[in-house]
Amino acid sequence: MGGIGSGNRYRYGTKNTVEGRTSLDVNRWAREGYLSPVRSFSWQWTWGDGSKSTINVRVESECSIRLIYRVRFGGEQDWTDVDYTIGLERAPCRFGGERVWFRCPGRGCGRRVTKLYSVGRYYVCRHCGNLVYESQRKDGASRAMSRANRMRRKINPASFLAGTFPGKPKGMHQRTYERLAHAALAADHAAMMGWESKFAGLEAQLSKIKIK
């Protein structure tokens, strides 16, 4: 008998990103008090067109939750009812409270994770879903430029949008500004060096091509 992960879910030829999937965050649920035993709640997402997706969650015990929802997948016309259990692991924190993790329900997995992502009909960890972060799709130069822009936005979003290097905004400590500016300029330099190397490689390839 199969189980979660026994179908076509593992046959994807290309990796998808975690940013493109709905996710369940056990830290958020624990922080907002949803994971008390013998409790039920609904979790909802709103899409750009105004439509909504909802799952129902039942906390069956301190060690497990149950997900209940409907899904229409892969061009199917009819909705399919999905109902399965996900394990929880809890551990006391050093200074009080507790940490909670999901146990991934993927076939043969059981990883202890804080997030599960929608892949096919189920929610699994990113390893089982063959998912990557969007930043992992970028080359080194692009990642460096993203990092530089992120530092600029932290300094002053308005100056960043204007295309100029932001000066120290009022109220920001000089040391904080210098740290962010140094990080932005270092990332700029790394991006420039990466692109120069990339262009040099392209020129070398072009020089080997004989034009008839």
2-14 residue pLDDT tens: 344 433 333 333 4
Q: How far apart are CA 136 and CA 157, in angstroms?
A: 25
Based on the fold, state whether residues 32 and 112 are members of the same structural domain.
Answer: yes
List 112's β-bridge partners, or say none. 103
Asked which of 133, 154, 179 is the last residue of a domain, the reply is 133
Give the C-alpha distances (Å, rounded to integers) separating 14 from 42, 99, 179. 32, 34, 38
Residue, of 203 and 22, whose pLDDT is higher: 22
Task: Give the CA-trace dihedral at 170, 173, 175, 176, to 10 degrees.
Answer: -80
Structural domain for 193, as ranges: 138-207
The answer to whether residue 9 sits within a structural domain is no
Summarised one tens digit per residue, pLDDT across range 67-117 is: 999 987 666 678 889 999 999 999 988 887 889 999 999 988 999 999 999
Task: Please give the tally of structural domains in the chain.
Answer: 2
Asked which of 133, 152, 177 is the last residue of a domain, the reply is 133
Place of tokens 């179908």: 7
Query: E-assigned strands of 4-48?
Result: 16-17, 23-25, 39-46
Backbone φ, ψ for residue 141 (5° rounding): -65, -40
Using alpha carbons, select from 101, 99, 77 the residue that is nearest to residue 88. Answer: 101
